[in-house]
Amino acid sequence: MNGLAGTGSLVGFIARRERVRLAVWILILTVLPIGTARAFLGLYATDQAREQLARTVASNPAMVGLLGPVYGSTIGALTAWRVGTLGALLVGLMAVLTVIRHTREEEETGRRELIGSTVVGRQAPLTAALTVTVGAGLILGLLVAGGLMGTGLPVGGAVAFGAGFAAAALVFAGLAGLAAQLTEGAGAARGVAITGLGGAFLLRVAGDGGEASGLSWLAWLSPLGWFTRLRAFAGERWWVLLLSAGLAGLLVLAGYGLAARRDVGAGVLEPRIGPGSASRGLGSPTGLAWRLHRGSLLGWGIGLAVVGAVFGSVADGIGELIADNPQMAVIFERLGGERGLTDAFFSAALGIVAVVAAAFAVRAALRMRVEEEAGRAEPVLVTATPRLRWAGSHLAFAILGPVVILAAAGVTAGATFGAITGDVGGRTLSVLGAALIQIPAVWVLGGVATALFGLFPRFTALSWAALVACLLLGQLGEILQLPRWALNLSPFTHIPRLPAPDLELTPLIWLVGIAAAMFAAGLAAFRRRDLD
């Protein structure tokens, strides 16, 4: 049989299943740069204002590490600086989730074997998943380019910006296709692919933020760094797109090669053979939950500790914003001078880390749904194990796991910055406090996932939509000049900035109360409903 037989039918089937998800992704990622460009047109109406922004805030090493370098002071260049790498990161996430869902997850649930019993070639499922995902990336790129041209931006820069988004979809779709061949589980495959995505982000941050120390070459190792090096709206380097095409081609070829050599349902990396008898710890729901969550907790903790160290290493350059700039010095003196500006940077950076920690909380809470859908929850619950005890063992990681992760990021960020400035103890405590104060907002998103699991288990994916919405509101809400009520929808908007002379506890108490109510509602509903 032709290895690609049935690909067209599978493409139509996947496109139908993904029509809503991909439409939402494309809508959000199209509005993101277009709305930012329009907002910049209103906020920085003169060439002088745009030049000052590009020369000061956008060129500061700390901000370069966080958002990437700025190439010029035009509206297009500023838009590419502000949302380019963030958008490319989200495009990569879209590609990873889509490809894994229609390759490894289909095998894990047994649907791939049923499809394979029909007239479908061996390579058709992977080809169809890649086709739909890359097609969505191309549509996104065209819409973004057209929308930016509609705002009056140059055609070449708009096309380069859209092509950068499409290139990110191409590369990370290939990475996800390869990851799907390596492991036996969809969760492990997502972990491998998202780790690659996170590694690309870290290389870009380290390279862009470490330009003064000669580390800028690291950004050239990252597909996300290639987006900024494409230089949309600043003398486009079209040849950079060849790097994305070349890497994607290698990843796809590797994926096809491995897919042809493995059995359906199996992974290239064979699972480790376990002991003949279970340990005593697995005799309780808590021990089982620890076994299921410990790997991800360790991985996320180490990853965000590294992110914290990177942020701490670039924060020293934030003081350059007020050097030789009397006007900005007066403004930031009201914020506490250079130290106040540095604290503001850490609050912003740790706000991003908190959203990532919230992703861990959502994932830990939704592990209950994964166990339920896979049929592994029922054998546990038919024993003397109460439902609430089983659910509580997973929610313990959704509640305490983010605390560990944020503490790791806060300690490494503060210690790294303190080592540079000569105040390790003081800076570590200060930044650690700025990290831990984000916890109530993280718990709210964990509560959303739990409430959906208990009340509307078929709609638990909405918890991820809420997470993405919080990320976009936090990063772009002010720039897009959204109304205050819209910004207030994100729990992270209500987190006080530390250090503060008079810490306002009321918002934190409200957030903890809302989170507790959502956790309670989800558990109460789960206690009464039937298992799927």
Give the side-chain half-sphere CA count within 13 A for 448.
25
The predicted pLDDT at position 303 comes to 85
Q: How far is CA 323 from the centre of its chain?
A: 34
Query: Could you tell me which residues come within 8 angstroms of residue 19 by beta carbon, excluding any fewer than 6 positions away?
Result: none
Averaged pLDDT, 358-362:
93
pLDDT value at 335 more than 50: no
Highest mean pLDDT among 225-239, 254-268, 487-501: 225-239
How far apart are the C-alpha atoms of 446 and 465, rounded to whole Å?
13
How far apart are the C-alpha atoms of 191 and 196, rounded to whole Å?
9
Q: What is the pLDDT of residues 250-306, one digit of tens each?
A: 999 998 888 877 777 666 666 666 676 767 777 788 888 888 888 888 888 888 898
**Matching residue, tokens 């493409």:** 11
Stretch among 122-126, 334-338, 434-438, 450-454 having the lowest mean pLDDT: 334-338
Which of 221, 229, 170 has its CA nearest to residue 200? 221
Q: What is the pLDDT of residues 173-190, one digit of tens each?
A: 999 999 988 887 777 788
How far apart are the C-alpha atoms of 177 and 40, rounded to whole Å?
38
Which residue type does 295 have? Answer: G
The predicted pLDDT at position 321 comes to 55
Check whether the bond before 499 is cis (ω within 30° of 0). yes
How far apart are the C-alpha atoms of 87 and 474, rounded to whole Å?
14
DSSP 319: G
How far apart are the C-alpha atoms of 323 and 338, rounded to whole Å?
9
CA angle 105, 110, 115 (to 5 degrees): 100
How far apart are the C-alpha atoms of 60 and 84, rounded to whole Å?
17
